[in-house]
Amino acid sequence: MDIIERLTQQRERKAQLEAEIEAVDTEIRHLVRAGFAEGIRTSAMATAAGLSAPRMYQIRDGRR
Give per-residue pLDDT as tens, 23-63.
999 999 999 999 999 999 999 999 999 999 999 999 999 99
What is residue 13's DSSP assignment? H
Q: Which residues of 9-36 are buried (b: 16+ CB within 10 A; e: fewer)?
A: eeeeeeeeeeeeeeeeeeebeeebeebb
Spatial separation of the C-alpha atoms in residues 36 and 17, rounded to whole Å: 29
Spatial separation of the C-alpha atoms in residues 59 and 64, rounded to whole Å: 7
pLDDT, tens digit (0-9, with 9 covering 90-100), for 12-26: 999 999 999 999 999
Domain ranges of the chain: 24-64
Spatial separation of the C-alpha atoms in residues 43 and 18, rounded to whole Å: 28
